[in-house]
Amino acid sequence: MPTDQQRLAFLGIDPARMDPAPSDPRAPGWRDRVAYGQPTRRGCCSCRALAVATRIVDIPGLGRRWHDQCRDCMIAGERMDWAAGLPEAGRYRVTVEVDGQPVIQGWWDEHTTAGAKCARWIVRHGARPGARITLVDEGTGETVTSWPPAT
C-alpha cells in the first residue's frame, strides 16, 4: 500500500501548497469543499478540476492537510496509474461560475454534446445571482458561448 507522500508525489502535488486541515478527525467543513454547486467548492490538488472528494493527510513537517481530488485523480492515486484516463479530457469545457468561482465543470470531446450541456446548465443555473456559464474550445482557447452574453 503506497503512503500518502508516495500518492501525492505520483499526482505531482506539492504538500506545502495544500490547505491546512483541522485537527478534529470528523473534519468539519469537508462538505463545503466538494459539494456540487457550492461557491466554496475547491479544485483538485493535482489538476485543478473541481473536486468531488476530500480527505485529510498528515504530512511530516507540515501537519494535517486537505487533499481535494477530482474523480480521475482520486482513482489514479488509488491505483497509482492513469489507466482510468487523464482528468480534464475533452476538447470542450463548460463551466458554471458564481461570483467568479467555478462551481461546476465538465469536459466533452464533441462540440454538440458540450453545447447541449451548456444550454441545459444555462437553463438550470443561469438565473443564480452572480452566475456565468461558458463553453470554451480548449483546442483554440476561444469562448464559444457565454451566459449572460457579453455586452
Does the pLDDT of residue 10 top 70, yes or no?
Answer: yes
Report if residue 125 sits inside a domain. yes
Residues 13 and 73 in one domain: yes
Give DSSP secondary structure letters for 59-102: ETTTEEEEEEE-HHHHHHHHHTS-TT--TT-SSEEEEEEETTEE
The residue-averaged pLDDT of 48-54 equals 88
Report if residue 86 sits inside a domain. no
Residues 59 and 27 in one domain: yes
Does the pLDDT of residue 84 top 70, yes or no?
Answer: no
Does the pLDDT of residue 31 top 80, yes or no?
Answer: yes
The residue-averaged pLDDT of 132-146 equals 93
Tell me which of 29, 52, 79 is where a domain ends: 79
Does the pLDDT of residue 105 top 90, yes or no?
Answer: no
Query: Which pLDDT value is given to residue 87?
Result: 58
Query: Which pLDDT value is given to residue 106?
Result: 82
Residues 46 and 68 in one domain: yes
Report if residue 56 sits inside a domain. yes
Residues 129 and 100 in one domain: yes
Query: Which pLDDT value is given to residue 57?
Result: 93
Structurally, the chain folds into a number of domains equal to 2
Enter the pTM of the model.
0.63
Strand, coil or helix: 42: coil
Does the pLDDT of residue 13 top 90, yes or no?
Answer: yes
Query: Which pLDDT value is given to residue 151?
Result: 63
Residues 120 and 57 in one domain: no
Rounded to whole angstroms, how far apart are CA atoms 149 and 118?
Answer: 13
Residues 39 and 17 in one domain: yes
> What is the percent of the chain where pLDDT is above 90?
39
User: Strand runs (DSSP E) across the chain, as ranges?
Assistant: 53-59, 63-69, 92-98, 101-108, 131-137, 142-147
The residue-averaged pLDDT of 123-143 equals 91
Residues 51 and 110 in one domain: no
Does the pLDDT of residue 64 top 90, yes or no?
Answer: yes
- The whole domain housing 48 covers 4-79
Assign 77 a pLDDT band (cuts: 50, 70, 90).
confident
Report if residue 22 sits inside a domain. yes
